Structure 1
């Protein structure tokens, strides 16, 4: 519980919260542990009369009331002013970067929404107008691949997506985006990336012929139901064969994305090199997204857990090179992970730092700041680290509402404008 404390009682080791907006002081965060006398002087120069003390996070007790205060020399005062100005300049730089970052996110959201709308339209034409559907899909893929290859520094971002009952579209777009980025990381050529993107986009289109009751069933499927679901790979191939325009390079992805290297997959129990390499790549991504979004939402894994599960328990089944690249793409704490930082503050990972996978960009929970203005910090530029990932279901309601962890985790990549 926070206690109101006069600034005259501040000392090193106290964990405090400033009664100011994030933009109204030069410190990186609104709450922190006081590390030296210089910080105390800077706090006193903010023109506030009190702070909030958080005793359980503090290493020491406040000074006694009426403790004599040291006089500040003119030289020290000038030094403090210079330090405060330096901190302010660094803070303004952060605020500018944050505004630019949020502008990029807004652009990313628009591209995501447009691609999702195009995908819904395409899927609606697969059965009745397959030639048109494939041509429109190729145009969508071409646009995305071109944007991907034109950008030097491509970041994967967590997207806002409030649509319900569109699992097949969200899943297909997720798998497409991540598969394209994996293919790019492998140094694949443009035509190969396009084939992977098209195959990933259509890999589950055969589910359009599977009864909705089976697709949305949350209890274990019966053997006949499971067999029906497994037919979606054949149905996808059948739909692709309705037109001669579907690229032959992409077809193995439709039929083999559930085959596993140890031969335990389906439909043909292929092993190792019998499985097309492009299908092996999409299989890794497909498995990750399915772990995050299983048919039974109660069994959904948080992104961190899904990635850990694949790495620790499924390495015999998937191409390890692609699995390692997926971890590099998503980071140790993938976008969508709710995390607790070393200062015990909570946050939501919203994008990956490719140069340091342990230090992604995190949107912070800070009730003193409106949620739509919540600061996003780059952990590699702070003294903070992630201590653990937390299941959103374990968050207090006010924290859950503020961070808005996604029930449906959707990804998209940033395009340079």
Structure 2
């Protein structure tokens, strides 16, 4: 099922941790054409691409109050309760991220402090396609709400009937998002980046997507629009020893593989017996999945790596820098302390990645493609900016004047020095 690599030399690790690459030249050309068309022609171009890519003619992409009410009434009450329960946990975890910073007197008469302010206008992209990711609305909408962003715009692709999935509308309404648009793909990123006659331009765009959406986000970033992170296809790495439960490990691998054929799955283990048992479980579990064809394609591009010792296994995992890392080992907590590169870590046999995807409270919008080496996942911090303030008394300025004048003169910036001197004359 999964290709098995045994005791690889360190020189081969970069090849093991490498992600599949798309034809970026052709991809970027297609994306740039859509971005430019929407930038020039606004709603007209959006309608054209919605017809071309989503197969539906929409004269108005805005979701009306009547549509919101209809969707809320249609949604199964059990699913409503599940979404509300998840939202409670996510809100509780993210509320704890707000810490008020106290003013600091760096020296007598000089006080400095920081204030956090929500980004005024943010855009959320919620994938639809083969699986409407309404859970992502909670992951993005709740921290935006906590950060007190003044305007939150949400775009998601319509179905063949020109509607959004009721769960997407319910989740958006639950977190207070009122501006919903039935726009998907690159045209959605373009609409939020540049603005159209109906879609307002935003300052920062959040949300996962396919390779086209990811490329579009990276391109609009070059024209002054911020993005959360360059997130690509989803991925999971499982680090397991002989104490792991093969059925659990297989289920975790498949829960990631079913996202799509470009998802990546990596199993790193010190037990050959476990790897073989996991492969057997994959066969039996895969047969029961509705999305088995997608999962199978992802598994064909995935690997199981047998390592000779746990220390090397941890090193390989850190080099891989997984979006999701599951540690299914006897001393999982100790190993977790050694992890330096991962988007989100799941510790022990009873911490499936699926729980973090939906309802434990942590955010599931995470860095992929090894960006966990330098990026964090989305948090309240992603939706705020921190402005520094300072206030000096005359005595404080007098005390620091010589330091500033000396440094300014040394850099050849006489006006900087004079800005201090003129106040003390």
The normalised TM-score by structure 1 is: 0.25
Task: Give the structure with the higher percent helix.
Answer: 1
Structure with the greater relative contact order (CA < 8 A, sep ≥ 6): 1 or 2?
2
The structure carrying a bigger strand percent of its residues is 2
